[in-house]
Amino acid sequence: MQLGGLINRLKAFAANRRGEIGGLFKTIVLLAVLIPIGFSIFYGVTTTGWDDNVVLLWGFIPLLILVAAIWGLIKSVGD
The pLDDT, as a whole number, for residue 7 is 77
CA 79 to chain centre: 16
Q: How many CB atoms lie within 10 A of CB 46?
A: 6
* Domain spans of the chain, in order of start: 18-78
The pLDDT, as a whole number, for residue 15 is 74
The pLDDT, as a whole number, for residue 49 is 92
The pLDDT, as a whole number, for residue 51 is 92
What's the average pLDDT block by block, 10 residues per block, for the chain (79 residues)? Answer: 72 73 82 88 88 88 87 74
Report the predicted TM-score, pTM, of the whole model to 2 decimal places.
0.56
The pLDDT, as a whole number, for residue 8 is 78
Q: How far apart are CA 52 and CA 48, in angstroms?
A: 10
Q: How far apart are CA 46 and CA 11, in angstroms?
A: 51
The pLDDT, as a whole number, for residue 66 is 86
